[in-house]
Amino acid sequence: MDLLLLAWRYLVARPITLVATLSVTVGLMAIVIVDSVMSGFLGEQRALIRALAPDVTIAVDGFDEPAARALLDRVRAADGVRSASPRVEVAAMHRAKGVVALVGAPRIGDSYFVNLIGLDAEELTGPLRHVLEATPTRGERPEISHFLERSLVPRADEPFWFDPEDPFWAQRLPVERRFDDELEPILFGRPLAYRFGYEPGTVVTIATMAGKPEPGVTLKPRTRDFVVVGTFATRDTNFDVTHAVVPRARLVDFAALDAPIQELALSVDGEPAAMRDRLATLLADARLAPGAIETWEDRRRLLLGAVESERRVMNVAMFFVVIVATFSLFVTLHQMVRRKTRDIGVLAALGSSRPRAGLLFLVCGLIVTLAGSLVGLAAGMGLAHWLNPLLDLIERFTGWRLFAGHMFRFDELPVQVDLSRLLGYAAVSIGCGTLFTLLPAWRAARLDPVEALRHE
Amino acid sequence: MSDVATPARPAAVRARALERHFESGGQRLEILRGVDLDVAAGEGVAVVGRSGGGKSTLLHLLGLLDRPDAGALELEGRDVLGAPRGARDRLRRDRIGFVFQSYHLLPELTAEQNVLLGAMIGASPFDWFARRKETLAQTRALLERVGLAARARHLPNRLSGGERQRVAIARALLRRPALLLCDEPTGNLDERTSAEIEELLLEVHREQGAAMVLVTHSLRLAGRLDRVLMLEGGRLHDVQKPAADGTAVLPTLV
């Protein structure tokens, strides 16, 4: 009881302890906010990766179409597979008449790079929409129509809809291409279309060197004209600015691909890794031997590893913040022991033991770190929770916008509070505080009571 | 052979051949060179001597704050030097009370809390709450006894020197010690306040029946105790008590 009473009285009697407590509070508060925002960003990054990748993919490069279809049927029939869809991807270049060269865009001459994704039209309106499907709001997978420019595409339920004889298209196509049924439909990512001025009806020449070369000829590009039938927007600007979507059969034909299906993209229930293993067993038992079966995490392990690496670096940085925040405790207690030396002698005269004198300052340190950490944790969580309204308020009064959400396609600063990790930081803060208290406490415990009584 | 008289009553303190030296500036300072002392329960002994002669050192040894280099020490018949440190701390807490010249109150605690602190030390929260009311009543009674009931909630910096010493006396008496050690308790006080504190000390000493060893330069106070011992050359000697008005004896020593 004496320790608690004395520790409390010592602390409240000295404003310097308030500074130490505030230092811990502010340190932990900063950590909570930084961690929550960083977690929000990392979470968004992960969600983007997650949203743009199928749960599981099965490589079927070596299969002809009937074999790939048989495999597809088998996979679709498997328990836990919500949907499965064939797809191909081809590197290509695009060019449109009248487009001015763009500085900075990857190009050769006046042609620009684009990755073409071949999907079956029915898949785009079906349950599997891995490529175009993304998350405009966290944690949701909305309908494909949300991503298509309704104003530009009259029939969002048929994204590849193109009828050169329909008046809608006739009036949008260049005069010389009106009623040209050789044109293939293509969907561009919205930012890409915006940069190049592509609109529905714009005719774009696509060139690719993918596929099997003609006998005796190497590196001869194939070209074909496509008509822009719409745009799409995922939340990943990088993806949107580098990809276009075309009907799979047309792409296979245009690029003269050996394999009509490169991979099957699956949407599954439950853990993708578990489903990957089950499918591997199932297909092996059925004597169907596809290529690699991978989850989205397997495919993006490098990027996900980078995300985790960012978090690890941040944890180290946060650890140093904790050390700096709690170091003031060492200084405060060191000073306190010096000033209370005579008290230590008096306590000894009253029957207190030497270790108890050390314990007294340890209790002081613990009270400061506990109070600082808990208040910092609560304040940080509160601020993190109200961060966006707070930023709005600051903007309203000062006109200064801290976070330009449109650069990241976020409406607001992403904040994700991970209580378990924050409690971990609080524990580290309390641990560091205690550690910094140990030396002054040890000094107090070693004081000779007689010398302490004589201390001026 | 000791030249200090042995009281007839049972000894509260019995010290034999206590020695203590300190190293200072590369020199060995022999402070105590074989101190013998017997103080009976309820007896009051004044220790006089020159400044720096080792009086406070003797009190620290008797109060178990320090250990002698040699010698034997018994408190209420128990050898205390052979006891482990924890046991010595408990003995000091339960059986010994200190009153210092500079009062040594803790400035952050009120008068009442300073007195209570003696009872709090080493008490578990369970013990403390079980005996809290009783201890609080005891504390208030002691503060009333020393005339400070009205100032119980005051911090030491709001009290005069005499009042602080009264609080210190109350603190020393809380556990009803067997041995009261007073180190120049009136040394920092004016004449009139000194007289009041002397009176109070002697009264509570008689009331509590504790043995008292009091270091003082005041011949008047020394003369009012049962015996007067002089610490000289590191040894204690019985000396004749000064007259009640403190005007005679020991002029060269004190």
Contacts of A456 in chain B (CB under 8 A): none
B47, burial (CB in 10 Å: exposed 0-12, middle 13-18, buried 19+): buried
Distance CA B119, CA A238 (A): 72
Binary contact (B104, A345; C-beta < 8 A): yes
Nearest to A28 by CA among A437, A432, A438: A432
Dist. CA A193–CA B136, nearest whole Å: 84
Question: Nearest-CA residue of chain A relative to B63?
Answer: A349
CB distance A352–B125 less than 8 Å? no
Q: Count of CB atoms within 10 A of residue A269's CB?
A: 12
Q: What does residue B5 show for φ and ψ, rounded to 5 degrees?
A: -65, 145
Instruction: Indicate the helix (H) or strand (E) that contains B35.
Output: strand B27-40
Query: Residue A329: what pLDDT?
Result: 87
Q: Is the pLDDT of residue A398 over 70?
A: yes
Of all residues in chain B, the one with the smallest CA distance to A353 is: B89
Average pLDDT, chain B: 86
List, in order, residues 6 or more apart from A273 with CB less than 8 Å away: A295, A297
Contacts of A276 (CB under 8 A, 6+ apart): A56, A293, A294, A295, A298
Q: Is the pLDDT of residue B37 over 90?
A: yes
Task: Compute the distance between CA of residue A195 and CA of residue A202 in angstroms, rounded to an integer.
Answer: 13
Please state, in angstroms and as integers, the Cα–Cα distance from residue B80 to each residue in A32, A124, B90, B95, B214, following that order: 55, 92, 11, 12, 21
* pLDDT band for position B193 (cuts 50, 70, 90): confident
Given B60, B86, B104, which is nearest A346 (Cβ)? Answer: B104
Residue with the larger pLDDT of the pair A435 and B189: A435
Is pTM, for the whole model, over 0.80? no
Contact B100 A453 (CB under 8 A): yes
Residues 160 to 179 of B: which have CB under 8 A from any A CB? 171
- What the block records as the tokens of A241 is 């600015």
The residues near A445 (Cβ < 8 Å, ≥ 6 apart) are: A354, A355, A357, A358, A359
Which residues lie below 8 Å from residue B51, measured CB to CB, with a gap of 6+?
B217
| B174, closest residue in chain A (CA to CA) | A350
Partner B contacted by A5 (CB < 8 A): yes
- Map out the domains of chain A as residue ranges: 2-46+304-454, 57-299
What secondary structure letter does DSSP report for A104?
T
Question: Mapping DSSP to helix (H, G, I), strand (E, B) and coil, where does residue A307 land?
Answer: helix
Interface check B118 vs A, CB under 8 A: yes
Asked if residues B78 and B44 have their Cβ atoms less than 8 Å apart, the reply is no
CB contact under 8 A, B65 and A449: yes
Report the pLDDT value the prediction gives residue A409, as an integer from 0 to 100: 59
- In chain A, whose CA is at the least distance from the CA of B99? A349
The mean pLDDT value for B30-38 works out to 92
- A291 pLDDT band, cuts 50/70/90, is confident
Q: Looking at beta carbons, which residues of chain A come within 8 Å of B121?
A: 2, 347, 350-352, 356
* DSSP string of A190-256, one letter each residue: HHHHHHHT--TT-EEEEEE--SPPPTT--SPPEEEEEEEEEEE--S-HHHHTTEEEEEHHHHHHHHT
- Give the Å distances, CA to CA, from B142 to A140, A261, B111, B138: 73, 97, 11, 6
Does position A413 have pLDDT exceeding 60, yes or no?
A: yes
Q: Which residue has the tokens 């001597």?
A: B49
Cβ of residue A10 closer than 8 Å to a chain B Cβ: yes
β-partners of residue B228 are B46, B239
Tell me whether residues A1 and B108 touch, CB distance under 8 A: no
A342 touching chain B per CB within 8 A: yes
Write out the two tokens for A278. Answer: 């089950």
Which amino acid makes up residue A258?
D
How far is residue B29 from each of residues A279, B18, B24, B53, measured CA to CA in Å?
90, 15, 7, 11
Contact in structure between B253 and B232 (CB atoms under 8 Å): yes
pLDDT of residue B64: 93
Beta strands at B179-183 and B96-99: parallel, antiparallel or unpaired: parallel
